[in-house]
Amino acid sequence: LPPQPTSLAQGGVEIPCARYVGQPMQRCAAAVVHKGADRADITVTWPDGGTRLISFYAGLPAGSDTKGEFRFTREGSLSMIRIGVSERFEIADTVAFGH
């Protein structure tokens, strides 16, 4: 197997993401820290370097580690998150909460 990103080798996952305006979704490594039944911090690592922290609280996306506008929509158990004008993430409840 080819070498995997460090977070994947340490039990992380991959999520769909896009960093730039007009960029198609790609796969980003993500490391999840569960903080109880309905809280989690997810650190997403961009393929070209850098990270974004997304926090979940009360079972929903609650914010990030940047001052860009944070918004999300839900479709079933999938959170579609937008940060600023360009960043997009899709995080399933099974990733954020393990169920």
Encode pLDDT of 2-36 as tens digits: 443 443 444 579 999 999 999 999 999 999 998 88
Closest CA relative to residue 75, chosen from 88, 62, 91, 53: 91
The answer to whether 19 and 46 have CB atoms below 8 angstroms apart is yes
Handedness of CA 45, 95, 88, 1 (dihedral sign): positive
Alpha-helical regions (H) of the chain: 6-9, 93-97
Which one-letter DSSP state was computed for residue 66? S
Encode pLDDT of 41-86 as tens digits: 999 999 999 999 999 999 999 999 999 999 999 999 999 999 999 9
CA 99 to centroid of chain Cα atoms: 16
Cα–Cα distances in angstroms (integers) from residue 12 to residues 42, 63, 85, 91, 96, in the given order:
10, 20, 27, 13, 11
Distance between CA 43 and CA 66 in Å, rounded? 12
pTM of the model: 0.86
